[in-house]
Structure 1
């Protein structure tokens, strides 16, 4: 018995090391794939020369992909394991980015392949593959990572991924600044390096083996699972809030980096510094928000963080091409408040998801939140193009749009008042259940949340006691 236990412990230690290394190697491409991040915005609207309306469609693709996966994943789950789904679609996603890197000079403005339809189609396939990878990894990780020690391990892993993200931001922004006269080549090299690192990451994932027996969801009836979800009033109300917030935030949210580039005249390096500042302040304040959630509840944390986050955004009224210093204050405080909002969202959803319909609940939340968020960037792109063509005073137009944007987003907090919050969190398995908010965190500056997993204090000890019993 002890020999089998030693073998299992040895296998687990190997898996944990592999997961850390593969996560570090995957981070550059994972960040690039997030919608609305400043690198993608610069590449699309600057290097490739796409119209803002087309960029809005591309920014909405991951949200549409989340809707499609709601129907695709149950069909795949009945036929393949979560590991197979994750790895196969990881390779498909990788191939899409290989194609993007190779074709970049040809799909740029003036290139022989420059076609918005081709570019959108390529990114659509990549977005769908990425959505399936995220949800399947959510379930697969439970096959080898025991509940005991999970929070401590993922906390350490996430801190290392944060360092990897910051290192990527620093190096990529410096490289693009060095090759600013040939931005296409700069982006091409960054993509190829990111792809190579991700390829090694996937190979390492192949070596991860299961360490415990898990429930087989392939025989579960999908209708029974969704019936359980629809009976959960608090969960449905929170999903409605998430959908409303996602729509309001994504109409103009992905275009703030574009405003910075085209209206305020900022460089990629300057915007990268803003993102790194928000990443740092958000990560440092994460323990504080954990204590707030434990003491006052997730709903209070959400409302306070949302008010501070959007309230600070009103300071955009003082931003001008010759006065961009105020943005550092906005993003610094925004990183703190944004991390609190996203932390509260994760903690709340962990409380609300029913254990008997875990995968279905994750997919349902993704689809519902993403459906509204998918339409928003398309409308935002049309609005951005209209503003550029209509108004001479671009800075003044930016101020008005910013004022309306932050006012509408902060008003969605009213929906939180009607949500009954459970007293205790009972589910720690739903890693990645709030992917739309992870994506929003990326474009708002708190990019370290792209791979963050949350565990309430005490869950680990409770799980350990349950296993002993």
Structure 2
């Protein structure tokens, strides 16, 4: 709807009903997109590439390609204004998602070497058009979602999409294992089927994406003239501090994370089912903690959440180095369970809070260049980290360092490793160090409502204890303990 004032066409704001309908469609589109991403990325992409004969360096490159593609968000900003943001998102997403059809079909007819090149090309093609779509999507969502609901809405959306990802990952892992039992020696067919399903689900999501209402774009705010210089975010001192934090954090995380699956397959000799199950565990824990982080970010500040979740993730990277001493041991799987629990908790906090703080520090109505700079910087540094991580992993292959406890006698010698690092362990240690370094940059970012770390921990514990208190009322627990005490006294008296 448009109305005319003083001879100029003025866009009319969306009604409350249109906004609410749009938010529900955003959730539906997010679930369809997440379904596609689950079946065509993550552990399934790594396993698919390994089945086609990919090297470790190529695994890192596959992780880096979507990150490098985010650079295309910058030229894509010039499309906003001449074209509607919704049109850009729908067309770019549709063109990019078509690449998964080629990735699904080519391995059925072509040699592995050709299929691997097609898979790499499909990842690059889809990532490029996804970046073009994201540039408009970020600006679109900044104007559609009410600012006071950022934390609650995006945590709810993330919770629903994470729940769907958990279910699909489990079903996908079970399907791959069953396929290999049904068709021994033809495991590629399972991944081809998953990618074909991802292609269909991705196009199903376009139905919802095309129906989301678009708020008016104010001329002079995010018009093409506003993009004559993309240096605006760099002139904002506080946003520049945020960029330094997020860039270093993205580099640290992507330096190691692409090699988690490789580490479990090559060094821990784990089955795909167990690898997927651990990933699902992390996603489930993240799902549980998302509303907790969402309430905390709305009540206090996103920076406060990051001060807890960032070091937790960095510590989980260090824990990877203890899964072999120097070989897998009895505590390897329990330790991995603890690692993925910590990763789930911390990633939920970092993902939500980092996204929210970038939105919060971006000027309303002129958010596109700020969010594009934020995403592009993190993506480019993350992509460089993935490639560099692969190079470092190859360079350090065969190197080891450790401390051992030795007890010997004239007839016997006992040697117990206390610490032992080899190959990918060095990547995890370096990434952890960079993660802790990013906290220094975070401390310089200014955000309203920031709390002291100790108070935030207390509030976090209260949020965690809340569902426990609801399940076990205080009076009921008190009565139970009273009965238990009387019973123990009677046993002693008897």
* Counterpart pick for 1:397 among 423, 428, 433: 423
Residue of structure 2 in register with 1:376 after alignment: 385
1:284 aligns with 2:288: yes
Q: Give the structure 1 partner of residue 317 of structure 2.
A: 313
* Contact persistence 2:393–2:423 (CA under 8 A): no
* Aligned counterpart, 2:442: 416
Looking at structure 1, the residues matched to 135 and 207 of structure 2 have their Cα atoms a distance apart, in angstroms, of: 19
- What's 2:32 paired with? 25
For the residues of structure 2 that align with 1:169 and 1:250, how far apart are their CA atoms? 21
**Cα-Cα RMSD:** 3.1
Aligned residues: 410
Q: Does residue 1:93 correspond to 2:96, yes or no?
A: yes
Offset at residue 128 of structure 1 (A)? 0.6
Structure 2 counterpart of 1:64: 68
- Counterpart pick for 1:385 among 372, 379, 394: 394
Question: Do the aligned residues in 1 keep the contact of 2:106 with 2:115 (CA within 8 Å)?
Answer: no
Within 5 Å, which residues of 2 pair with 1:249-288? Answer: 249-288=253-292
TM-score, structure 2 as length reference: 0.74
What are the equivalent positions in structure 2 for 1:189-338 lying under 5 Å apart?
A: 189-210=193-214, 212-216=215-219, 217-223=222-228, 226-293=230-297, 297-320=301-324, 321-322=328-329, 323-338=332-347
Task: Determine helix, strand or coil for the equivalent of 1:285.
Answer: helix
Distance 1:195 1:256, change over 3 A: same
CA distance in 2, matches of 1:304, 1:103: 45
Give me the whole-angstrom Cα distance separating, in 2, the residues matched to 1:205 and 1:158: 17
Deviates further, 313-322 or 168-177:
313-322
Cα distance, 1:16 vs. partner? 5.0
Give the 3 Å change call, closer, same or farther, for CA 408–156 of structure 1 in structure 2: closer
Shift of 1:129: 0.8
User: In the TM superposition, what whole-angstrom CA distance separates every residue of 1:91-148 from its partner, at most 9, and x where no partner exists?
Assistant: 1112111111111345663x5x2564x5433322211111122232233346766668
The CA deviation at 1:74 is 2.4
Conserved? CA contact 1:264–1:324, under 8 Å: no
CA distance in 1 between counterparts of 2:178 and 2:244 reads: 45
User: Post-superposition shift, 1:191?
Assistant: 0.9
- Alignment equivalent of 1:39, drawn from 44, 50, 63: 44
Contact 1:263 1:395 in 2 (8 A): no
C-alpha spacing 1:420/1:11, structure 2 compared with 1 (3 Å): closer
Tell me the distance in 2 between the aligned counterparts of 1:152 and 1:290: 6
Contact preservation (8 Å) 1:229, 1:357: no
Residue 433 (structure 1) aligns with: none
CA distance in structure 1 between the aligned counterparts of 2:437 and 2:344, rounded to whole angstroms: 20
- Pick from 355, 363, 373: which aligns with 2:364? 355
Aligned in 2, Cα 1:299/1:107: closer, same or farther, shift over 3 Å? farther
After the TM superposition, which of the residue ranges 57-66 and 401-410 deviates more from structure 2? 401-410
CA contact (8 A) 1:18 1:204 kept: yes
Q: Deviations over 1:354-397 (max 9, x none)?
A: 22531111111112222211211111122233344667999743
Q: Which stretch of structure 1 is more off in the superposition, 22-31 or 331-340?
A: 22-31
Larger Rg: 2
For each residue in 1:326-352, what CA deviation from the matched residue of structure 2 results, as whole angstroms up to 9, or x when unmatched? 100111122112222333323322332
How far apart are residue 169 of structure 1 and its match?
0.8
Residue 152 to residue 292, structure 1, CA distance change in 2 (3 Å): closer
Q: Is the 8 A contact 1:249 1:405 kept in 2?
A: yes
How many Å separate the matches in 1 of 2:304 and 2:155?
24
Take 1:141 and 1:292, find their aligned partners in 2: how far apart are those partners?
22
**1:62, distance to aligned residue in structure 2 (A):** 1.3
Residue deviations 1:153-185 (CA, integer Å, cap 9, x gap) = 655444332221111111111111112343210
Contact 1:107 1:119 in 2 (8 A): no
TM-score of the pair, normalised by structure 1: 0.78
CA distance in 1, matches of 2:155, 2:303: 23
Q: Which residue of 1 aligns with 2:413?
A: none
